[in-house]
Chains A and B, each alone.
Chain A
Amino acid sequence: MFVRVIANYLVILWICCGAAYADMAVTIGYLEQVEPQPPVLSNLDPVPENEGLAGAEVGLKDNATTGRFLKQTYALETRIVAEGGDIESAARELLAVTPFLIVKAPKNQLLRVADLPEAAGAILFNTSAGDTDLRDASCRVNVLHTLPSRAMLTDALAQFGVRKKWTDWVVVAGPYTADLAFADAIENSARKFGIRIRERRVWDVSADLRRSAFQELPLFTQNFPEHDLLVVADETDDFGRYVPYNSWVPRPVGGTEGIVPVAWDRTVEQWGAAQLQSRFEKTAGRSMRPVDYAAWAAMRAIGEAVTRTSQADAGAVRDYLLSGKFELAGFKGRPLTFRTWNGQLRQPIPLVNPRALVAQAPLEGFLHQRTELDTLGIDEAESACTAFRE
Chain B
Amino acid sequence: MRILWQITGLAIGMGLSIATADEIWVSNEKDDTISVIDIDTLEVTRTIDVGERPRGIAFAIDHSVLYLCASDSDTVQVIDPKTGKILHELPSGEDPEQFVLHPDGKHLYIANEDDAITTVVDTDTRKVIAQIDVGIEPEGMAVSPDGDIAITTSETTNMAHWIDTGTQELFANTIVDQRPRHAEFTHDGSELWVSSEIGGTITVFNRENQQEKAKIEFEIQGIHPDRVQPVGFEMTRDGQHVFVALGPANHIAVVDPETYEVTDYILVGRRVWHMAFNGDESLLFTTNGVSGDVTVIDVKNLEPIKSIKVGRFPWGAAYRPTN
Residues of chain A having any CB pair with chain B under 8 Å: 1-6, 8, 11, 13-17, 62, 65-66, 68-70, 272, 275, 278-279, 307-308, 327-329, 333-335, 371-373
Inter-chain contacts of A373 with B (CB < 8 A) = 226
A–B Cβ pairs within 8 angstroms, 15 of them: A1-B263, A3-B214, A3-B262, A4-B215, A11-B211, A14-B209, A15-B175, A62-B156, A272-B137, A275-B155, A279-B114, A279-B136, A327-B178, A334-B198, A335-B199
Inter-chain contacts of A4 with B (CB < 8 A) = 214-215, 217
Give, as a whole number of angstroms, the nearest-CB distance from B109 to chain A.
18
A2 touches B173 (CB 8 A): no
B226 touches A335 (CB 8 A): yes
A8 touches B198 (CB 8 A): no
Docked complex Cα distance between A29 and B261 (Å) = 45
A11 touches B178 (CB 8 A): no
Inter-chain contacts of B113 with A (CB < 8 A) = 275
A334, A335, A373 interface centre (most CB from chain B within 10 Å): A335
A3, A6, A307, A371 interface centre (most CB from chain B within 10 Å): A3
A8, A329, A334, A371 interface centre (most CB from chain B within 10 Å): A329
A-contacting 9-mer, from B1-9, B17-25, B157-165, B278-286 = B157-165
Give, as a whole number of angstroms, the nearest-CB distance from A334 to chain B.
4
Give, as a whole number of angstroms, the nearest-CB distance from A3 to chain B.
5
Inter-chain contacts of B171 with A (CB < 8 A) = 16-17
Say yes or no: is B301 at the interface (Cβ < 8 Å to chain A). no
A14 touches B174 (CB 8 A): yes
Return the CB mask of B172-193 against A: 1 if under 8 Å, else 0: 1111001100000000000000
A65 touches B175 (CB 8 A): no
Docked complex Cα distance between A2 and B218 (Å) = 7
B211 touches A14 (CB 8 A): yes
A372 touches B214 (CB 8 A): no
A70 touches B173 (CB 8 A): yes
Give, as a whole number of angstroms, the nearest-CB distance from A168 to chain B.
31
Residues of chain B having any CB pair with chain A under 8 Å: 113-114, 116, 133, 135-137, 155-159, 161, 170-175, 178-179, 197-200, 209-217, 219, 224, 226-227, 248, 259-263
Given contacts A3-B259, A328-B178, A373-B226, could you give 17 more A-B pairs where the C-beta distance is less than 8 Å?
A3-B214, A3-B261, A4-B215, A11-B212, A14-B174, A14-B210, A62-B136, A62-B157, A65-B136, A66-B136, A69-B161, A69-B170, A308-B175, A329-B197, A334-B226, A335-B178, A371-B226
Inter-chain contacts of B157 with A (CB < 8 A) = 62, 65-66, 69
CB contact between B261 and one of A1, A65, A308, A327 (< 8 Å): that residue: A1
Give, as a whole number of angstroms, the nearest-CB distance from A17 to chain B.
6
Q: Which 6 A-B pairs have the closest CB atoms?
A: A69-B173, A329-B178, A66-B157, A329-B198, A334-B226, A329-B179
Give, as a whole number of angstroms, the nearest-CB distance from A299 to chain B.
12
Inter-chain contacts of B156 with A (CB < 8 A) = 62, 65-66, 275, 329
Give, as a whole number of angstroms, the nearest-CB distance from A350 to chain B.
16
Inter-chain contacts of B155 with A (CB < 8 A) = 272, 275, 329
Minimal Cβ-Cβ distance residue in A for B173:
A69
Docked complex Cα distance between A11 and B215 (Å) = 12
Docked complex Cα distance between A272 and B139 (Å) = 11
A4, A275, A279 interface centre (most CB from chain B within 10 Å): A275
B172 touches A16 (CB 8 A): yes
Docked complex Cα distance between A65 and B152 (Å) = 14
On whether A16 and B178 interact (CB within 8 A), knowing A66-B136, A329-B155, A372-B224, the answer reads: no
Inter-chain contacts of A327 with B (CB < 8 A) = 178, 198-199
Minimal Cβ-Cβ distance residue in A for B176:
A13
Give, as a whole number of angstroms, the nearest-CB distance from B313 to chain A.
11
On whether A275 and B178 interact (CB within 8 A), knowing A3-B259, A16-B172, A334-B198, the answer reads: no
CB contact between B175 and one of A13, A275, A334, A372 (< 8 Å): that residue: A13
Minimal Cβ-Cβ distance residue in B for A6:
B212
Inter-chain contacts of A333 with B (CB < 8 A) = 248
B217 touches A16 (CB 8 A): no
